[in-house]
């Protein structure tokens, strides 16, 4: 885990080393100052000249200035190193997630990935800041002050030998108790974020069904659960303060009583006033260091679970990768499924797809129809290699999809998924996802083909109209047409529409399909739909049932030979809703 996270330090190694060096020098100065003050007190007590006092004063000012300089330098280096480290961790995680296959993303929930990119990284950043500064400062201060306490106080330093182990035992007990609680909390954080994400994403549905009170209760339950565990952990951690304070006051009482008694009885021979004042200062430094050290351990304890969750993401290897010598050219849009079976997880008992044998010629228009859960989407996801077939071979352009460079394959297989997504930015920005170098003329042509140009030109800003996040300021049908235009700009050899015209009227749907036939005849077109009218003029129609191909044929052939297709057609046309073409 440490080795993996250390890779993220990179250009911030210098600041990561500078911080502990500066802290060490600061500690040296802070430990020498009480020693110098003790000598000054003894000199004054002995009746020294003003010039001696002046020399000591100048030395103290210089040491204080150096201590301030070292401390400020350490703080600056620490801030730069910790923020830079967090930036690199966040960047590496995000880049790694971008390389994931759908199978990898299925393994981590979206809410969990968001928590890891935010809360977990913040915890690790804070822990790293403490490690390179406070975790260096406290042990050094403890050791130096411990040594100086024995030098200045002699036998009285034994009190620290008794107190420090007691505090150490208490600290270990606190950490061992809180660690499992923090592990449990982070898992509940994922659930809380999932609840928030789901609610915000579906806020229109929540309001339309007047379910605000239900969502509030659900959120309250999740938030209370997190709060309960955090409170329990914080209550245990809160014992640190009283425990430290108790030890501090016990040591101070011991030092004050026995120190004062020793000074009086020995008349300053065994212990003088200067040594006594220094001993009190070192006492404060030792116990303060212990208190800070306990907080460092607590923070590291919290961050350890976060670090493990981060490393899980960083070390997760994509289930899909380029072959050793990838092919960078797709010959044509032909598609072949040879004895293909597929399941989403290796331990799944049932195949999502089974015994698929299908051969599509380049330029064909193929319709796919079937009920919900018949694995229509699973079938087309194998073509662009969003998943790999569990058994059998999927070929595009006569070659196994696993032989292609992934980017090359996906550039030539353009998919408009069921869940259409637009990103915040102008319409032009969204269209250029299909082709970043697309000209205005090419964008207009693609939008005309997708029947989107008409509504775009009605906007005051036309193609420069700003699209809100998720496309919330356009209708479902407009969103679908923009996504189709975006896919067309890639000029793919294969175009797949996964129920991507469900929100447009039948007339517009027909115009889109007519445009495909006229303007992209060489592109293989696969249309998944629930409406028979969306696929009935396809060259061939595939009927899916229970993850298998139940029938293949033209509209007329299936009406005569396939009961499922005929029943679907009749139910959709009952009452003359649609006329057969």
Q: 136-152: per-residue pLDDT in tens? A: 888 888 788 777 777 76
Distance CA 534, CA 497 (A): 11
Q: Say which residues have a Cβ less than 8 Å from residue 140's Cβ, sequence separation at least 6.
A: 23, 24, 27
- Burial tier of 133 (Cβ tally within 10 Å: 0-12, 13-18, 19+): buried
Q: 208-243: per-residue pLDDT in tens? A: 778 888 888 888 888 888 888 778 777 777 776 677
Contact in structure between 475 and 503 (CB atoms under 8 Å):
yes
- 83 DSSP assignment: H
Say whether pLDDT at 577 is over 50. Answer: no
Say whether pLDDT at 160 is over 70. Answer: no
Q: 34-82: per-residue pLDDT in tens? A: 888 878 887 887 778 888 889 989 999 999 999 999 999 999 999 999 9
Contact in structure between 503 and 351 (CB atoms under 8 Å):
no
Average predicted confidence (pLDDT) for the chain: 84
Query: Tokens in use for 100?
Result: 């994931």
Question: What is this structure's pTM?
Answer: 0.70
Q: CB-side exposure of 360: number of CA atoms within 13 Å?
A: 35
């Amino acid at each position: 885990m440490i080795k993996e996270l250390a890779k993220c330090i990179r250009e911030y190694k210098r600041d990561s080393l500078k911080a502990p060096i500066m802290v060490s020098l600061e500690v040296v100065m802070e430990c020498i100052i009480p020693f110098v003050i003790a000598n000054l007190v003894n000199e004054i007590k002995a009746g020294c000249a003003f010039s001696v006092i002046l020399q000591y004063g100048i030395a103290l000012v210089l040491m204080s200035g150096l201590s301030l300089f070292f401390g400020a330098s350490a703080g600056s280096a620490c801030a730069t190193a910790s923020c830079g480290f967090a930036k690199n961790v966040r960047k590496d995680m995000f880049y790694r997630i971008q390389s994931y296959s759908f199978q990898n993303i299925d393994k981590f929930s979206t809410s969990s990935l968001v928590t890891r990119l935010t809360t977990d990284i913040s915890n690790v950043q804070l822990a790293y800041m403490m490690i390179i500064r406070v975790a260096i400062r406290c042990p050094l201060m403890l050791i130096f002050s411990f040594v100086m306490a024995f030098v200045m106080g002699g036998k009285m330093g034994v009190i620290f030998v008794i107190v420090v182990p007691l505090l150490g035992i208490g600290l270990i007990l606190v950490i061992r108790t809180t660690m499992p609680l923090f592990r449990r909390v982070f898992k509940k954080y994922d659930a809380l974020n999932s609840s928030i994400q789901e609610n915000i994403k579906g806020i229109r549905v929540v309001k339309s069904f007047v379910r605000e009170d239900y969502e509030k209760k659900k959120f309250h339950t999740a938030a209370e659960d997190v709060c309960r565990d955090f409170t329990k952990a914080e209550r245990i951690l809160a014992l640190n303060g009283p425990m430290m304070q108790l030890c501090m006051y016990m040591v101070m009482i011991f030092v004050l009583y026995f120190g004062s008694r020793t000074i009086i009885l020995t008349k300053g021979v065994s212990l003088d006033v200067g040594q006594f004042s220094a001993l009190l200062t070192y006492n404060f430094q030792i116990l303060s260091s212990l208190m800070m050290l306990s907080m460092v351990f607590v923070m590291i304890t919290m961050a350890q679970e976060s670090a493990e969750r981060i490393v899980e993401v960083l070390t997760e290897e994509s289930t899909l990768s380029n072959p050793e010598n990838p092919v960078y050219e797709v010959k044509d849009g032909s598609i072949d499924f040879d004895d293909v079976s597929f399941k989403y997880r290796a331990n799944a008992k049932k195949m999502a797809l089974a015994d698929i044998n299908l051969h599509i010629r380049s330029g064909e228009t193929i319709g796919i129809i079937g009920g919900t859960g018949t694995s229509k989407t699973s079938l087309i996801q194998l073509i662009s290699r969003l998943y790999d077939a569990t058994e059998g071979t999927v070929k595009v352009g006569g070659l196994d999809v696993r032989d292609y460079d992934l980017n090359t394959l996906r550039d030539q297989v353009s998919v408009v998924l069921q869940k259409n997504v637009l990103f915040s930015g102008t319409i032009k920005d969204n269209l250029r996802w299909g082709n970043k170098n697309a000209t205005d003329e090419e964008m207009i042509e693609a939008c005309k083909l997708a029947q989107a140009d008409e509504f775009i030109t009605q906007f005051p800003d036309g193609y420069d109209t700003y699209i809100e996040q998720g496309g919330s300021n356009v209708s479902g049908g407009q969103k679908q047409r923009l996504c189709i235009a975006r896919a067309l700009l890639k000029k793919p050899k294969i175009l797949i529409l996964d129920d991507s015209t469900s929100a447009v009227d039948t007339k517009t749907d027909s115009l889109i399909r007519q445009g495909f036939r006229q303007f992209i005849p060489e592109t293989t077109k696969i249309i998944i739909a629930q409406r028979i009218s969306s696929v009935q003029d396809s060259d061939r129609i595939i009927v899916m049932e229970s993850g298998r191909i139940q029938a293949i044929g033209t509209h007329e052939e299936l009406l005569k030979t396939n009961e499922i297709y005929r029943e679907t057609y009749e139910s959709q046309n009952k009452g003359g809703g649609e006329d057969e073409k």
